[in-house]
């Protein structure tokens, strides 16, 4: 990292969905600028997304505006990355 550059912060967002919208929502998430990856998974969650932002306050805004705004999202759990 160069002098003066600020390190981005990251979070994994675990997403519970309506079953019939998982594939289309994954594609929509991948088109969002702050979403670094989004994958459908097996288990209690349907999608895991990696979010990157300038600071942790921005993570909350991104989850509210870029993720929860999509149709079919029932619930999210956000895991902040500290390393």
Which DSSP letter does residue 21 get?
G
Determine what percent of the chain falls in helix, strand and coil, rounding each to the nearest 5: 30, 35, 35
Average pLDDT, the chain: 93
pLDDT digits (tens, 9 = 90+) for 59-76: 999 999 999 999 999 999
- Kindly report the CA angle at 18 between 23 and 15, in degrees rounded to 5? 75
CB neighbour class for 9 (10 Å; exposed up to 12, middle 13-18, buried from 19): middle
> In order of start, what are the domains of the chain with their CATH numbers?
9-81 (3.30.70.920)
- Residue 15 and residue 73 in contact, taking contact as beta carbons nearer than 8 Å: yes
pTM above 0.85, yes or no: yes
Tokens 């088109």 sit at which residue?
31
């Amino acid at each position: 990292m160069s002098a003066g550059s600020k390190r981005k912060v990251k979070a994994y967002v675990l997403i519970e969905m309506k079953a019939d919208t998982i594939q289309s929502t994954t594609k929509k998430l991948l088109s969002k600028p702050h979403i670094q990856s989004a994958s459908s998974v097996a288990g209690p969650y349907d999608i895991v997304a990696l979010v990157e932002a300038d600071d942790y306050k921005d993570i909350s805004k991104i989850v509210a505006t870029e993720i929860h705004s999509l149709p079919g999202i029932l619930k999210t759990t956000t895991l902040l990355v500290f390393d």
